[in-house]
Amino acid sequence: MTDIHKIRLELETILKKDRYEHTLGVMYTAASLAMLYEVDLNKALLAGLLHDCGKYAPNKDQVRIAQEYGIELTDAERAIPALIHAKLGAYLAEHKYGVEDREILNAIVCHTTGRANMTKLERILYISDYIEPGRDRDSRLPAIRKMAFTNLDRAVAMVSEATLDFLKRTGREVDGSTEETYQYYKNKKQSYNHKKRRWYQDK
């Protein structure tokens, strides 16, 4: 069984202080959401703890490290090195920290960009990375945090929309997966609202 305490001690020594504090924030936020949405608590803790373990190295070094480990990178990941830590983190979680659970590894892979039709654990990690207590740069955070504990799909739509807004506003490149995540969960949100309106009309 993977030793969460041992991993925490190691990450504390290799991650920068603010990155480690963010990691703990994500871990505990993911655990809180897991308890609410009846997801395996240990999986949520591990996913949160290891989601940024690939950030022990600067972005500029991660292309080389990924190549050394035989990790396939997309054109988007080569163009946006900040995305690489997700795949690198999943690799390290499996090969260095002994995580064998594919659901945890997949959650780490997609925690930055999201993807269409995520599992509940994947949605929890994706949201937790955005709303953990140390985050404070988005005026929409109070609303997103409230939604996270109300409706996971709608929270994913809000997080992906906020992420796209930030990337476009700052002139940064947008990965196609982030756009796909937003479109998928925006449509789910609209479908939910339509069904809700029909329910009220039928009353």
Instruction: Return the domain boundaries, the chain.
Output: 4-202
Query: How many C-beta neighbours within 10 Å does residue 187 have?
Result: 13
Q: Is the pLDDT of residue 18 over 60?
A: yes
Write the pLDDT tens digit of every residue in 35-82: 999 999 999 999 999 999 999 999 889 999 999 999 999 888 988 899
Between these two residues, 196 and 23, which has the higher pLDDT value?
A: 23
| pLDDT of amino acid 75 | 87
Whole-prediction pTM value?
0.91
| pLDDT of amino acid 195 | 53
Q: Is the pLDDT of residue 84 over 90?
A: yes
Residue 23 pLDDT grade (very low, low, confident, very high; cuts 50, 70, 90): very high
CATH entry, 4-202, from 3.40.50.11540, 1.10.3210.10, 1.20.140.10, 3.90.1150.10: 1.10.3210.10
Q: Is the pLDDT of residue 13 over 80?
A: yes
Q: Is the pLDDT of residue 186 over 80?
A: yes
The Cα–Cα gap between 187 and 85 comes to 29
Write the pLDDT tens digit of every residue in 123-182: 999 999 999 999 998 999 999 999 999 999 999 999 999 999 999 998 988 889 999 999
Pair 25, 130: CB distance under 8 Å: no
DSSP assigned state of 180? H
| pLDDT of amino acid 200 | 46
| pLDDT of amino acid 198 | 53
End-to-end CA distance of the chain: 51
Give 34-68 as a 3 state SS string.
HHHHCCCHHHHHHHHHHCCHHHHCCHHHHHHHHHH
